[in-house]
Amino acid sequence: GATIEYAMAGSGAPPIVLINGAGGPLEGWFRVWESLAAISSVVAYNRPGIGRSTGPSQPQTGDVVVLTLHSLLEELGLRPPFVIVGHSLGGLFANLFARSYPSETAGVVFIGSAAPEDPALMDEHSTRFQRFVRRVVDAVFGRDPLGEAACVPQTVEMIRRAGAFPPVPVAVISGGKPARGVPAAVRDARARHQARLAALSPSGTHVVARKSGHFPQISEPHLVVEAVRSVVAAVRAGDYRLGEH
Q: Mean pLDDT in each 10-residue stretch from start to end of the chain (245 residues)?
A: 93 97 94 98 96 90 95 96 96 97 97 88 49 41 66 93 95 87 78 94 93 94 97 85 44
Q: What is the rounded CA–CA span in Å between residue 217 and residue 127?
A: 29
The pLDDT value given to residue 68: 95
pTM metric for this prediction? 0.88
| Residues whose CB is less than 8 angstroms from the CB of residue 82 and which lie 6 or more positions away in sequence, other chains included | 14, 15, 16, 17, 73, 104, 105, 106
Q: What is the rounded CA–CA span in Å between residue 154 and residue 172?
A: 24
The pLDDT value given to residue 245: 39
Q: What is the rounded CA–CA span in Å between residue 80 and residue 107?
A: 11
